[in-house]
Structure 1
Amino acid sequence: MSHSLTRYYPFACRLPSSASPYTQCNDEGVVFVEAKHDSQMNMSQHDNDTVGQLFVDGLSWWQHPPNKRDNLLGVQVNHFACGGIAVALAMSHLIGDGCTFGSLMSHWASVTRYSSLDHKNVLPFNPYSIQVHPTTDFHAPPSEDVVLHTTCANPVTRKFVFTNSKLSDLKNKVLATVEDGSTISINKPTRVEVLTSLLYKTWAIGHKKSLLTFPVNLRSKFVPKLPQTAVGNLGLGVLVMTKHDSETSLHVLVSKIQKGKMELEGVKSLQQVSESIDSIVSRLSKEEGIEKYKEFSCSSLCGLPFNKVDFGWGNPAVACLTFRPRKSVGSFLIDTPCGDGIEAWVTLETQDMERFQTDEELLSFCQN
């Protein structure tokens, strides 16, 4: 890890404040803990609460360091009585997104495996830093009046598994609806688009005014294109607002997600990212009764290399996510270990989860 941090050095720094556009390097490094457990490793038990205990200080993926002295990165290597090892890495979302997280993990694992920063298999994971002029105007975070993160008083997180064959059936269902005479156009829906729509639809029942937020990675949209190892939060959210049950039909949601993604094709620079954020904030602030909307966020980590992080022991038997503490309503998607489907980690209010996990349409496509 110490070698990787010579490349990913901002992760060993501190943030003066949660709104700061820069880090302060003070040579304090990151927290690294090795822990021994008397228990056996249970490969089938990787629920949110159990896995969360493997992380240093109980943190896993958090938005704001409690104070400027806190680490932006924390590592805990867990040794079990059976000889199994669980590596738990925690990162603040303030310094990077899921793509950054995946690149960092891959770089650290490769440096460990090949014992060199200059090995040909390590170099592709070297971080790419975006050069920003000192006079660039960084926007402050949006006002709380337009931040809609719906939180749970009694959150519960569940994992739902969807095989590729079932996701293919879900795609066909969406396309069949369009072919039956709908005026809505859909172009080759992806696994993530149809699954996001299904999860949101299932939750939105009973929430008349709802908002789906769907972050999109912008690295490939910039001119020139940025490598996937570009460090930072380089994404924008697609927003889908619904007020009536008819607007939560699967084909309608997929169409709106695709339309939102197409609108982001014009975002080709940091300046345009800033302008798009202004536009989103303006749109939300002008929406009548926006404070009554409930938000469901759905982030996808599919396609990222978490299941291929090899420290020299081979690929991990299980790569999973946990969010402690997490109280925001929504889901995270990640490829299954064998790559034959998608795991959806869904966090909802307890009473909403009771209804969600018994929904017949959801269960018809779910392996659970």
Structure 2
Amino acid sequence: MLRLGRRQLHTIFSREIIKPSSPTPSHLKTYNLSQLDQFVPHVYTPLILFYPNNKTCTLTADDKARELKKSLSQSLTRYYPFAGRLHTPTATYVDCNDEGVVFVEAKNDTHLSKFQRMINEQDDDTFHQLFADAMVWQNTPHATSLVGVQLTHFACGGLAVAVSMAHKIGDACNVSSYVSHWASVARYGSTDHKHVLPLNPRFIQSPDSSNFSPPLEMFSRVNQTCDNHVTRTFVFPNSKLNDLKNKVLAEAGSAAFINKPTRVEVLISLMYKTLVATTTKNSGLVTTMDARNSFVPKVPQTTVGNFVLLMMVVTSDPSLSSVVSEIKKKKMERNNVRSFEQVLQNNELSMLGNEELEPVADKPFYCSSVCSFPYNKVDFGWGKPAGASISLRSSTLTGFVLMDTPNGDGIEAHVTLEKQDMEMFQKYKEMLSFCQN
């Protein structure tokens, strides 16, 4: 039981282990992690989905919890490694032993809307309580588990569904695919229903390797706590992002690589310019790119594993157009990488460009965009969420994560910085001029 402040009461009242509804076949008992999977630390990506009380839904709170557990069990049969275990945090394979996923239920005496405001204003304790066993970036006493779920019931009847997924087994695309499949099973009651999303996961059989690839130095300390960090959310409507695109184009003139900048590219450039102007660090920006479409042939979006290319953006000119130009150049360099199987067989991670990050491993800002992933459409049977969140909160990384707004009319930037830097960042006039009023 946690008592936060003078009024908020948060109580955990149930804890279960949910196992797959059907046993994993013997020939699938070992799932080898790829070299790319080994390249990331064993930490947990935290996704929260907030659901207001849907007055038209006839399901009780107990009904909703029961349906979540049943459908979770059914969906784990298809995503069988998620119910397995790592023997150690540095293991190179998953033992697909069907030990299951922890499912925690909690009650919170706050209204959901108030709680959502609180997690953008208060410390990490308010955020942590939403996740099973505090599986938020850092390792936990249950560090060999791969997935954890917590359902929190709020006083108003609203709910929060929090999913923690080990980054070693998958990236944000996998989190999205799995949760979307799980929700569709819950909504229709069966994995065989004709309307269940056909998100058949693809598991690549990586070569058996006993050689552990240590995580990139930049990320190896991501599981250490940092009390000096704060997280804030800034919202940028599409209308303002269109204005920002026009500003970038006007600034660039006839410069190369600026044709048709995306809203994500221009927002990254604005955020980076703000960081350079308001913080004491200026060593570059590490940004990510989903590599599934870069390989030849393309890797299906439902492929499980880490398919994230890391790109280091460093420019002596932090102007909007210069940063956008640099991002586009890096993307072009990462396109048309040869087949994923060849990269794995030849241990050619250098082909992906990740080696360039090592010289500045502990210095740059980090940014990731999960825009276009349908987190805001995840419907377990009682409607779409009123909000979703993935952030760098509780990691030692500083930077930002970009997500679509719930209504699709803009982008949310979840920014994590040291406290003194955030004081200056959130006052930067150019950045605020493109924010929602």
Q: Is the 8 A contact 1:148 1:294 kept in 2?
A: no
Q: Which has the higher strand share?
A: 2
Counterpart in 1 of 2:250?
176
Whichever residue aligns with residue 171 of structure 1, its letter is K
Point out the more displaced range, 226-235 or 154-163: 226-235
Give per-residue Cα distances to partners, 1:110-137, cap 9 Å, x unaligned: 11111111223325222121233436x9
Give per-residue Cα distances to partners, 1:174-227, cap 9 Å, x unaligned: 100111x6x443121111111111111111235464121111001122233222
- 3-state DSSP class of the match of 1:26? coil
Whichever residue aligns with residue 298 of structure 1, its letter is C
Confirm or deny that 1:241 pairs with 2:311.
no
Residue 54 (structure 1) aligned to one of 130, 137, 144: 130
Counterpart in 2 of 1:210?
283
Q: Distance in 1 between matches of 2:249 and 2:142?
A: 50
Q: Distance in 1 between matches of 2:310 and 2:402?
A: 15
Q: Distance in 2 between matches of 1:342 and 1:329?
A: 19
Residue 223 (structure 1) aligned to one of 273, 296, 307: 296
Confirm or deny that 1:32 pairs with 2:103.
yes
Confirm or deny that 1:260 pairs with 2:330.
yes
Q: Which runs of 5+ in 2 are unaligned?
A: 1-71
Deviation at 1:294, TM superposition (A): 2.4
Q: Distance in 2 between matches of 1:107 and 1:279?
A: 30
Confirm or deny that 1:337 pairs with 2:403.
no
Counterpart in 2 of 1:16?
87
TM-score, with structure 2 as normaliser: 0.74
Change (3 A) 1:197 1:276: farther
Q: Is the 8 A contact 1:160 1:344 kept in 2?
A: yes
Confirm or deny that 1:192 pairs with 2:261.
no
Whichever residue aligns with residue 311 of structure 1, its letter is F
What percent of counterpart residues are identical? 54
Deviation at 1:324, TM superposition (A): 4.9
Q: Distance in 2 between matches of 1:151 and 1:232?
A: 26
Q: Distance in 1 between matches of 2:370 and 2:85?
A: 26
Confirm or deny that 1:310 pairs with 2:379.
yes
Q: Which runs of 5+ in 1 are unaligned?
A: none
Runs (4 or more) in structure 1 with deviation over 6 Å come to 145-151
Q: Is the 8 A contact 2:334 2:353 kept in 1?
A: no
Point out the more displaced range, 148-157 or 192-201: 148-157
Point out the more displaced range, 9-18 or 211-220: 9-18
Confirm or deny that 1:251 pairs with 2:325.
no
Deviation at 1:278, TM superposition (A): 6.4
Change (3 A) 1:322 1:252: closer
- 3-state DSSP class of the match of 1:106? helix
Aligned pair count? 356
Change (3 A) 1:27 1:272: closer
Deviation at 1:326, TM superposition (A): 2.3
TM-score, with structure 1 as normaliser: 0.87
Change (3 A) 1:177 1:72: same
Whichever residue aligns with residue 250 of structure 1, its letter is L
Q: Is the 8 A contact 2:109 2:154 kept in 1?
A: yes
Deviation at 1:264, TM superposition (A): 0.9
Q: Distance in 2 between matches of 1:75 and 1:12?
A: 12
Q: Is the 8 A contact 1:184 1:255 kept in 2?
A: yes
Residue 184 (structure 2) aligned to one of 100, 105, 110: 110
Give per-residue Cα distances to partners, 1:20-75, cap 9 Å, x unaligned: 33211233211001222333322652625434322112333x26x44676321111
Q: Is the 8 A contact 1:152 1:329 kept in 2?
A: no
Residue 305 (structure 2) aligned to one of 212, 227, 232: 232
RMSD, matched Cα: 2.7
Change (3 A) 1:365 1:5: same
Matches within 5 A, 1:56-95: 56-60=132-136, 62=137, 65-66=139-140, 70-95=144-169
Q: Distance in 1 between matches of 2:205 and 2:410?
A: 37
